[in-house]
Structures are given as C-alpha cells and as structure tokens.
Amino acid sequence: MTDPVIRPIEARDHDQWRALFVAYGVFYKTAFSDEVLAGVWAWLMDDAHEVSALVAELVDPDGSRLVGFAHLRRLHDTFTAGPGWSLDDLYVAPEHRGAGVARSLIAACESVARAHGGGTLRWITAADNYTAQRLYDRVATRTSWVTYEKES
C-alpha cells in the first residue's frame, strides 16, 4: 500500500466521507440520522465553523479513495488562556488499519494545531478500544481525567 495523502476535506469527498462516518457510527453502535449526517457535513464545509476535517486519501492507478478521516475542533483552553484542540472523531477503514493511517492523521492534526497557535490536542476513545489505545499510548500521554456526560 502506498502512503495516504492527508489533506483537508473537500466538497467532492461527501459520499466517501459519509460512508466512512456511517461506518464509524456502526463501530460505536450508533446510527447517525440523515439530519446528523447533513449537519456535520455542513459544519465541515463551513470555513468559519470551529469543526474541520482531514482525510486520508489513497491514490493508485485505479483512482483515489478515502480510507480515513479526523474531525478536529478548535477550543478555548481556560488553563492556558490560549488555543486547545479536540480530535473529536478518528476513523480508518478496517482494511487499512495497522498501516500508519491513524498515526498520519494524528500527526496532521498536530500540524494544524501548531499552524494555528499551538495548544494541547486531546481526544478520547472507548475504554474497550484496545487496538486504538496501543497507538495512542505510543503517540500521546494517557491522562488521569475521567469523562462524564449528561443529556440536557
């Protein structure tokens, strides 16, 4: 496999991104409604929105295809009074896992953060996503923070 090209998402990526995002939802036992899919896509296409996306694209003689994505969100970090970053969603198609695609997407997110003022890049994963955690433990520091959530 050739190395993927990591680049910002573009309007032409809609159908492939949607298929990957739906698969991401299935992985986490979530069925995204058409409204959610359209809403997230609208955010990604709005340059003024705080959520953006990078995609991993493989280009070969048969054409190109997306094999992964990372949704990145700029935050205001109250501990530093500066920028912070949340890697909200990271997904690589199963047949391309273990080939460095996720690592490349994380590195590209770091580059975006650096280019826009730096700050800490944070992300979460499911407690039982051991495969992802093996990579994350190599590229970042596991924190002691516990996450809670409450619907409102």
Q: Which two tokens stand for residue 66?
A: 């997306």
Domain boundaries, given as residue ranges, for the chain: 5-139
Instruction: Please report how many Cα atoms fall inside a 13 Å half-sphere around the Cα of residue 12, on the Cβ side.
Output: 6
Nearest Cα neighbor of 1 from 96, 69, 94 is 96
pTM for the model stands at 0.94
Positions in the chain short of pLDDT 70: 1
Burial of 25 (0-12, 13-18, 19+ CB in 10 A): middle
What is the DSSP secondary structure assignment for residue 29, as one 8-state letter?
A: T
Q: What is the pairing mode between strands 5-8 and 51-60? A: antiparallel
Q: What is the pLDDT of residue 1?
A: 59
Domain 5-139 class, CATH top level: alpha beta
Cα separations (Å) of 131 from 98, 108, 118, 121? Answer: 9, 20, 28, 20
